[in-house]
Amino acid sequence: MHDSAQAPWLYLASQSPRRRELLAQWGWRVELLLPEADDDLHALEALEQARPHEAPARYVQRVTRLKLQAALLRLQRLERRGWPPGPVLCADTTVALGRQIYGKPADAAHAVQMLQSLAGQRHQVLTAVALAHQGQLWQALSRSTVEFAPWGVDEIERYVASGEPLGKAGAYAIQGRASQWIRRISGSHSGIVGLPAYETAQLLRAAGLSPPQALNPQSP
What are the tens digits of pLDDT across the range 182-197?
999 999 999 999 999 9
Provide the pLDDT for residue 27: 87
Provide the pLDDT for residue 211: 58
Q: What is the model's pTM?
A: 0.88
Contact call for residues 90 and 13 (beta carbons, < 8 A):
yes
4-214 topology per CATH: Maf protein (3.90.950)
Is 38 in the active site? Answer: no
Residues 136-153: pLDDT tens digits? 999 999 999 999 999 999
Residues 107-117: pLDDT tens digits? 999 999 999 99
Rounded alpha-carbon distances, angstroms, from residue 48 to 43, 90, 204: 9, 14, 25
Q: Which among 38, 40, 92, 154 is annotated as catalytic?
A: 92
Q: Which of 5-14, 57-66, 74-83, 171-180 has the lowest mean pLDDT?
A: 5-14
Domain ranges of the chain: 4-214
